[in-house]
Amino acid sequence: MKGIISYGAYIPYYRLQRKKIGEFLGSSVLGGEKAVAGYDEDSVSMGIEAARDCLKGIETDDLDAIFFATTSSPYKEKASAPIIGTALALKENIKSLEVSSSIRSGTSSIMLANPDEKTLIISSDCRTGGTGGQNEQVFGDGAACLLIGSGKNVIASIVEQTSFQKDVLTQWRGSDEDVTQNWEERLGQTVFQKQIEDDVIPFIKQHDIDVSALKKVIISGPGARTHSLCAKALSLEKQQIQDPLIDQVGAAGSAHASMMLISALQDAKPGDRIMVISFAEGLDLILFEVTEAIENLPERKGIRDHLNNKSNDISYSDYLKWRNLLKTEPARRPEKDRPSAPAVYRGHSQNIGLIGSKCRECGTPQFPKQRICVRCQAKDQMDDYRFVNQPAKITTYTLDYLSASPASPVLAAIIDFEGGGRILSEVTDCDPAKVEIGMEVEMTFRRLYTASGISNYFWKARPKWKKEVL
């Protein structure tokens, strides 16, 4: 039976305390915090990190397809799947689909994945609300990844699924606009409530679903009152309603429903039934039943660990700068040139896959790829060598106040990999006060910069994820 084989999530490290927005605006704001993608992150980089969490311990050679669902694609025209595939070391002979515009695209992708294939569904969003508006407070950034397929490894099988298309202008972002706009919230709530009555309740009755026996109901929809209205309409108990993560993350667009689902799966036991209702210009409904296989799922970060691994040390002005919403004085340094497309093409597997070379003669790993071995001078005796998951540590470092960056000063370090090889890298998501020689780091996929509309991706180091400090 088709279902979820594995899951993974990503929540960016920085959390903006909403009260800081209020202090700036001088007005009352929502409580809690929102997850804010770093200046070096976007929907692609976050999606890749969620997929890395999902694919832990998974053999990837038999994956058939990648779906990438987002409303904040780095490009209106140009695929991201080849970047995602190379970063995850997937084979090149794989199908892909990039789904955009609809907030429901994450859940729709789950329904549309071929039951006879293994499909990696990445949903990721980094949406911008207008400065000073409600969306700015409510929106948060994050990514979810689900591996969908069939067989004995399915941890949550799909029992029922359905979808309804019903147009309504509750929330939209025009193709030449940067920020999302809304109609007054009452409209969305009313329409959503009506759809519960017209579509959801008849479906539940028709398929004999015992709502009171549902462990969790995931409701992803517009507005703060959606949950209570839906819960009331379905006669749900409070503990059945999955936490919408608004206080800790915010509404993460096309990733939101899947992130809530992953959160529910992290607490689920075999036999639990979980229903997802994802509302946006219609709705998607999926009913899952958790299987025994969930007991064997290896440990991962998921939503729970990501919620705890964070820094609140970000100001509202940092957020505005990172999203290009604050005009600041340019550094007295030259403008960044766009990367050379032929050089990017030649360096694709090396840079996106963090693949260097290892000398067959003397065994020395080196990055970037070399033809002549730096140690033994053997010519063209190199095998590809992937550094991504190698343990690594900082050999020396500096805080660079001079180079131009949206997050100055830049923490730059020499990173040495266990087994050999080193790179000069920026260390991201790190408190400079805690850096020292010998500090353990791991590699994370990031967007280095954009120039001429081109997003240039590479890897950076970040402090090694330590479970014990959480």
Partner 1 sequence: MSSNGIMDKVAVIGMGCTKFGEHWDKSVDDLLVDAAYQAFDDAGIEPTDIDAAWLGTMVSGYAGITLSGPLKTKYIPVTRVENMCATGSEAFRNACYAVASGAYDIVLAIGVEKLKDSGFSGLNSPKPPSDGTTPNISAPASFAFLAPAYFNKYGLSSDQGREVLSKIAWKNHYNGSLNSKAQYRSEVSMERITNSPMVASPLGIMDCSGVADGAAAAIIVRTEDAHKYRKDPMYVKALSIAAGPGDGILLQDFDFTSIKETVMASKEAYRQAGIKDPRKEISMAEVHDCFTPTELVIYEDLGFSKRGEGWKDVLEGTFELKGELPINPDGGLKSFGHPIGASGLRMLYEMYLQFQNKAGDRQIKNPKLGLTHNLGGTPMQCVSFVAIVGKELS
Binding site for partner 1 (CB under 8 A): 331-334, 336-340, 343-344, 346-347, 351, 364, 366-367, 370, 374-375, 395-404, 409-410, 412, 414, 416, 420-426, 432, 437, 448-449, 451, 456, 458
Which residue matches tokens 């140690």?
Answer: 375
Nearer to partner 1, 214 or 354 (CB): 354
Closest CA relative to residue 274, chosen from 201, 205, 209, 196: 209
Q: How far is the CB of 352 from partner 1 (least distance, A)?
A: 9
Q: Provide the β-strand partners of residue 120.
A: 66, 147
Nearer to partner 1, 270 or 432 (CB): 432
Q: How far apart are CA 410 and CA 427, in angstroms?
A: 8
Q: How far apart are CA 50 and CA 45, in angstroms?
A: 9
Nearer to partner 1, 416 or 429 (CB): 416
Q: Which amino acid is at 187?
A: L
- Residue 177: CB atoms within 10 A of its CB come to 11
Nearer to partner 1, 207 or 333 (CB): 333
Q: How far is the CB of 413 from partner 1 (least distance, A)?
A: 8
Q: How far is the CB of 371 from partner 1 (least distance, A)?
A: 12
Q: What is the 8-class DSSP label of residue 86?
A: H
Q: How far is the CB of 96 from partner 1 (least distance, A)?
A: 23
Q: How far is the CB of 447 from partner 1 (least distance, A)?
A: 11
Q: What is the 8-class DSSP label of residue 255?
A: G
Question: Crossing angle, helix 185-195 and helix 226-233, to 10 degrees?
Answer: 20
Nearer to partner 1, 220 or 366 (CB): 366
Q: How far apart are CA 469 and CA 63, in angstroms?
A: 34
Question: Crossing angle, helix 105-112 and helix 256-266, to 10 degrees?
Answer: 70
Structure tokens at 337: 């040139």
Q: How far apart are CA 362 and CA 364, in angstroms?
A: 6
Q: How far is the CB of 426 from partner 1 (least distance, A)?
A: 5
Nearer to partner 1, 1 or 451 (CB): 451
Nearer to partner 1, 207 or 346 (CB): 346
Q: How far is the CB of 333 from partner 1 (least distance, A)?
A: 6
